Amino acid sequence: MYTRAIVLLGLAATAWAEHHILPSTPKTVHWGYYDAALAPVLRIRSGDTVEMRSAMIDSPEALESAGVPRTQIEASHRAIHAQVKERGPGPHVLTGPVYVEGAEPGDTLEVQIQSVTLALPYAINLFLPGLGVLPEDFPYQYRKAIPLDKDRMVAHFAPGVDIPLRPFFGSMGVAPPGALGRIDSAPPWVHAGNLDNKELVAGATLYIPVHTRGALFSAGDAHAGQGNGEVSLTALETVLTGVFRFTVRKDRPVRWPCAETPTHYMTMGFDEDLDLAIKIALRELIDFLAVRFNLSRQDAYLLASDAADFSITQLVDGKRGVHAMIAKSIFARR
């Protein structure tokens, strides 16, 4: 059904891996939820790569009202909004799910983000009544179309105001535990999902605990850029194409999503209470440092205080997000 190519890997365990292309169409997206009961739209093996394209939340009419030319609204976008009737409870249009053979509950899905490219020359930023960090100050709807300059990799926000672009997928997640049924796509949790973590750009690797057979990975909520906090409710919402390599890890159990970039290790925490989200991220970091670098928990706690940075990931998705980052450069090579 979808384009694929076979490539040779220099791996002893996997002699061959396939590359798959998964577009966003009415038949390859689900709208507003994660669910272990979803039928996969693509099946792959551990080690395969998938080129996935996102879809935007805003309707074609809303895009046009914000000033986007009709010619810049893709036919696939119009088709998704016209044909996908089953929606909610969340707002995100997610491409997938992808079934990864061999993934079982208790495993970890390693998601290497190999590339992320812009697919549109614009982004949409908006706020809505009752949402965002300051709904009492902005009790109305406002939507802004923002041109994206792919050559200079900046967003022309306003005359004299250019925002550097760091495209990433705001939502990357697997199916939640099956007993929960369908869950809202907005709050991040143990299945990852709507992380809105601007550090997860090309070159980063995300680790997600698996809760159901095949993992059932989906991605969406494409951002051309975002500030930590995402305070208005949205970032530079656009369409992206990402290439991901999926590997089933049976040797690296994790309780919460975590990640690494070329320069940092990262843990995450999510809760309705920001203080509790911070504690989750900190406890995960302490456990990681103790196991990975053979430190006592006491020393790991001190090292977190000495060398880790804690940032608010986002404040607007039901559960507050926090991520902790510690530089790889402070550790001896091993």
User: Is 14 a residue whose pLDDT tops 70?
Assistant: no
At residue 76, what are phi and psi to the nearest 5 degrees? -65, -35
Q: Number of folded domains in the chain?
A: 2
Amino acid at 127: F
The yes-or-no verdict on residue 104 having pLDDT over 90 is: yes
Residue 3: what pLDDT? 53
Q: What is the mean pLDDT of the chain?
A: 95
Shared domain check, 295 and 233: no
Share of the chain above pLDDT 70, in %: 95
**CATH number (domain holding residue 313):** 3.10.28.20
**Are residues 274 and 139 part of one domain?**
no
pLDDT interval class at 16 (50, 70, 90): confident
Q: Are residues 238 and 297 in the same domain?
A: no
How much is the CA Rg of the chain, to the nearest whole Å? 20
User: How many separate helices (H) and strands (E) can be counted in the chain?
Assistant: 4, 22
Q: Which residues contact 119 (CB under 8 A, 6 or more apart)?
A: 53, 54, 222, 238, 239, 240, 241
Which domain covers residue 297, as residue numbers?
263-330
Same domain, 280 and 184: no
Domain-terminating residue out of 251, 278, 296: 251
- How confident is the model at residue 8, as a pLDDT? 40
Q: Residue with structure tokens 């929606």?
A: 87
Q: What is the pTM of this model?
A: 0.94
Do residues 44 and 66 both lie within one domain? yes
* pLDDT average, residue stretch 77-86: 97
Residues 129 and 237 grouped into a single domain? yes
pLDDT in tens, 248-258: 999 999 999 99
The string of pLDDT tens digits covering residues 189-204 is 999 999 999 999 999 9
Give pLDDT, residue 333.
Answer: 67
Query: Is residue 10 over pLDDT 90?
Result: no
Q: Give the sign of the dihedral formed by CA 273, CA 278, CA 281, CA 283.
A: negative
Structure tokens at 37: 């009961």
Tell whether 79 and 209 lie within a shared domain.
yes
Supply the pLDDT for residue 286: 98
Where a domain ends, among 203, 230, 251? 251
231 and 119 in a common domain: yes
